[in-house]
Structure 1
Amino acid sequence: MTPSPEIALAQTSLLQAMIAIAPASVRVGCRVISDGDEAHLSPEEAHSIPARQPAMRRASGAARWIAHGLLTELGVNDFAILRAPSGAPAWPDGITGSLAHDDDMAVATVALVGHIRSLGIDVEPAQPLPDDIFALVAIPSDRIEAADRHLAGRILFAAKEAVYKAAYPLDREVLGYEDITVDLNAGHATTKTGRKASLAYCIAPRVVVLAFVDGDAR
């Protein structure tokens, strides 16, 4: 089915914004979640995802559809991106990646481990974060003054989600929001284990945050 002009514009605009913030060695993609996207799950992928709600399976299918295309660009074809017991996607040897979605948009990112040690991504609507959620996410050591004041909380939330996704494959440590210190002013974050990640984000037409750990970062 040919996407409507509005959907095509949303995808194109977000993709351009994501490409602009991603390191040269990192591939990114996005897709507006659509009816039937669950069909993009291979049988193995579908079996590995416990969620039975149609919306969740559509989102998972959309994210994996993007990721399959990105993996093809790296020379990897027909790889089933299974959901690991931790909930994270399992990537091919030598490749790091991350998936995310909100209610309407799915995103994915991949890179060769030789260039980027670990990746995390999150996507959120470009709307202020509710005060009660901000109170759960923010800690005094977070620095968010450089971000758009209306969206700083949302960016902070997405940053901590992305950092967790990047850090967990390396440290196997379950982290809460209070365990991750984010400095949006400097573009980096540090976990309670001492793991450091670089951050990049865009805010239009969606908030997307990339967290990446390079080969020299602890």
Structure 2
Amino acid sequence: MTPPPSPESALAQPSLLQAMIAIAPKSVRIGCRVIRDGDEAHLLPEEARSIPARQPAMRRASGAARWIAHALLADVGVNDLAILRAPSGAPAWPDGITGSLAHDDEMAVAAVAPVSHFASLGIDVEPAQPLPDDIFALVATRADRTDAADRHLAGRILFCAKEAVYKAVYPLDRQILGYEDIEVDLDEGRAMTRTGRKVSLVYCVAPRVVVLAFVDAR
């Protein structure tokens, strides 16, 4: 059995949700949940079969993220529909819907929107802590702009942003991208990939770093 979520994480959930709702575009439904023991039970049978990971922690996180997504989909009249894991690892959304799931060790997040408003979404969540220097060296490029971000968290936000951008663009372009292939401008709230895909970004930093990336519908 894993340790229970820290009291700080449990208390942070309402404030994190409020912060996420504040940054999300109007037509994006967004949510979060502290990952708890037993959350793997929220996986529908088809979902459970589509997720190859057998580690209990991974299955709990997947169950928590899909629990959020099921509730968000129910808000738009889509009920009891399995969100399968595609061979690429991305969740497979119902027709007319785009979305994204993410989790760190303690918190799961999800976002969904109609494809009539957004071609694709990507979301990522990370602890609100400085990014280790060795990871920052792998993630950052000279083209990235982070001046507007909190200097202690800029690296973490940048890392989170590139993860979210990749999730948003892969379903559209089917291109494997490295961190060096994504140019992020946190000052302007945008990113561009080496394939020329333009992505918009919004983020919050307390009580966790959450970045939402989105590609407008054409």
When normalised by structure 2's length, the TM-score is 0.96
Give yes or no for the alignment of 1:73 onto 2:81: no
Q: Which residue of 2 is the match for residue 12 of structure 1?
A: 14
Give yes or no for the alignment of 1:149 onto 2:151: yes
Provide the rounded CA distance (Å) in 2 between the counterparts of 1:175 and 1:74: 32
Structure 2 gap segments, 5+ residues each? none
SS of corresponding position for 2:112? strand
Amino acid at match of 2:149: A
Q: Which residue of 2 is the match for residue 215 of structure 1?
A: 217
Give yes or no for the alignment of 1:86 onto 2:82: no
Provide the rounded CA distance (Å) in 1 between the counterparts of 2:142 and 2:79: 45
Give yes or no for the alignment of 1:131 onto 2:129: no
Q: Which residue of 1 is the match for residue 50 of structure 2?
A: 48
1:215 deviates by 1.5
Judged with a 3 Å threshold, the aligned counterparts in structure 2 of structure 1 residues 147 and 48 are, in CA distance, closer, same or farther, namely same
Provide the rounded CA distance (Å) in 1 between the counterparts of 2:73 and 2:146: 34
Amino acid at match of 1:35: D
2:42–2:66 Cα contact (<8 Å) kept:
yes
Aligned length: 214
From 19, 26, 36, give the equivalent of 2:28.
26
Q: Which residue of 2 is the match for residue 190 of structure 1?
A: 192
**Deviations 1:41-70, CA, capped at 9 Å, x for gaps:** 011100100100000000000000000000
**Deviations 1:79-125, CA, capped at 9 Å, x for gaps:** 10000000000000010000000000000000000011100000000
Amino acid at match of 1:40: H
Identity percentage of aligned residues: 82
Amino acid at match of 2:101: L
Structure 1 gap segments, 5+ residues each? none
Provide the rounded CA distance (Å) in 1 between the counterparts of 2:173 and 2:6: 43
1:10 deviates by 1.4
2:9–2:106 Cα contact (<8 Å) kept:
no
Provide the rounded CA distance (Å) in 1 between the counterparts of 2:75 and 2:116: 16
**Displacement over 3 Å in runs of 4+:** 3-8
SS of corresponding position for 2:70? helix
Provide the rounded CA distance (Å) in 1 between the counterparts of 2:62 and 2:48: 9
